[in-house]
Structure 1
Amino acid sequence: MRGAALTWVLAVLALAASGCSRAPENRSTEPASSEDEPHAQEEINLDLWLERLEVGSRELYSARENVVGAIGISAGDTVADIGAGTGLYSLLFAEAVGPEGRVFAEDIEPLFLDLINRRAEDAGVNNITAVYGRETDVTLPDRVVDFVFIADTYHYFDDREAVMTSILRALKPGGSLIIVDYDLEPGAEKPSEKSHVRFGKAGVISEIEFVGFEFVEEPDVEGLEENYMIRFEKPAS
């Protein structure tokens, strides 16, 4: 675990005192309008984020049960939800792994982590650990995670190689990385509400393979039409 483990422990401890922390300057702090994705400087409004992210018209919400089922999580597994946001999937993963499993809900916005902690407490869930990540490192210990899940977040990473390298370290050998994101059709005009998405599925696969992951499959998930799911593995040796 070496330095990464110490970093993770310190990050989790720092979270307890971070309730009044300012949001990172290059992180979204307000839900997007229909014309622009958020990169505002105003204090985060959790109610508006819940309304934006957990609504039936959003594929990642309406198809959430199918998405979780397609991952193949088992009781006792350890799952990292990277860019956990409001904790929607973290709570679903906590149910899937059961009391013997563990979910790391990682985000770089302390107020989201505070929200996840409160939602877990309200639901009587005690197998979620909120993790305060950094722009270049998810701050998880080495080789502890069975599944890493990144939904609607990969395209926000500024230093994707650094972030994905830290994820590669955190996964156990043979562990799975699941990416769910919006696809861009080659040559098609990009919708205004997806102006922040810089590349499509082929570009994502190429970048992640370059870091050292092996591409495995693209599962067909009922309910996902605008978004794709792709699975990678960390080499076993």
Structure 2
Amino acid sequence: MAFSSPRALLFAATLSLLGFAACQAPEKSVKPGINKPFLEATAEDIQVFVGIFEGESREIAAASDGIMAALNIQPGMEIADLGAGTGLYEPLFQKAVGDDGRVYAVDLSPAMIDHLNQRVADENLDRVTVVECSATNCGLENDSVDLIYICDTYHHFEYPQTSLRSIYRALRSGGTLAIVDFERIEGVSRPWIMNHMRAGKDVFRAEIEAAGFEFIEEPMVDGLNENYLLLFRRP
């Protein structure tokens, strides 16, 4: 289409800019306030969370050996624990990556960040780097990690599309995205899960695939009953 006047050119440029702005409109929160307890947590609150998150009654604590086997972390890998919380998996991840690897413990809660830094110091986790993220950005450099582990945290993403774009950029080509989260099944899942979770596994998988990730598999992990593990690859 040809434009014969400056006014027509200006009109076309304006339309183009408006279209670009519409495409760049900020994503709306899918569950406003879900992270408020963590964002406003105190040091005393964190100690309560330690008991909840790291007790053997929690599936992902009891099933940690099976989850680690399914992740197949190799020495020298650089990996991120996105939503690291109290740091339950950080000692396991440090051991798995070995002397030449690196672990990034990522969280958005200031109190959790303080706790993670203290844990790193107290337990000599010298290959663990603590990273503070935001609700829309994972806080990692582009093409910086081989695996991103997101455990019982994806359902806390207020802005999943924006967050997934950030995660996609952070993963190297061929890198793995591992999602552990709660099964949400009507008539099967506990009422707390049904109320807390905005969606179930099929919806989350569709969101992640729509962001460009390729589904690999759903490994069966002994001890996971209320939770599932999904593995994806960045092409």
Relative to the length of structure 2, the TM-score reads: 0.81
Residue identity opposite 1:47 in structure 2: Q
Q: 2:180 aligned with 1:180, yes or no?
A: yes
Structure 2 counterpart of 1:145: 145
Deviation digits for residues 9-59 of structure 1 (CA, Å, limit 9, x no counterpart): xxxxxxxxxxxxxxxx752436xxxxxxxx9x5635111000111111110
Residue identity opposite 1:128 in structure 2: V
SS at match of 2:42: coil
Structure 2 counterpart of 1:18: none
Closer, same or farther: CA 136–123 of 1 in aligned 2, 3 Å: same
In 1: Cα distance, 2:196 partner to 2:66 partner: 26
Structure 1 counterpart of 2:123: 123
8 Å contact from structure 1 (residues 79, 148) kept in 2: yes
Residue identity opposite 1:78 in structure 2: E
| Equivalent runs, 1:105-124 vs 2, <5 Å | 105-124=105-124
Deviation at 1:147, TM superposition (A): 0.4
Structure whose residues are more often helix by fraction: 2
8 Å contact from structure 1 (residues 82, 149) kept in 2: yes
* Aligned-pair identity (%): 38
Residue identity opposite 1:210 in structure 2: A
Closer, same or farther: CA 225–189 of 1 in aligned 2, 3 Å: closer
Residue identity opposite 2:93 in structure 1: F
SS at match of 1:215: strand
The structure with more radius of gyration: 2
8 Å contact from structure 1 (residues 29, 43) kept in 2: no
Closer, same or farther: CA 42–181 of 1 in aligned 2, 3 Å: closer
Structure 1 counterpart of 2:20: none
Aligned residues: 201
| Equivalent runs, 1:55-94 vs 2, <5 Å | 55-94=55-94
Structure 2 counterpart of 1:232: 232
CA RMSD of aligned residues (A): 1.6
Which 5+ residue runs of structure 1 have no aligned equivalent? 1-24, 31-38
SS at match of 2:196: coil
SS at match of 1:193: helix
Q: Which of 195-204 and 168-177 deviates more?
A: 195-204
Structure 2 counterpart of 1:29: 37
8 Å contact from structure 1 (residues 153, 181) kept in 2: yes
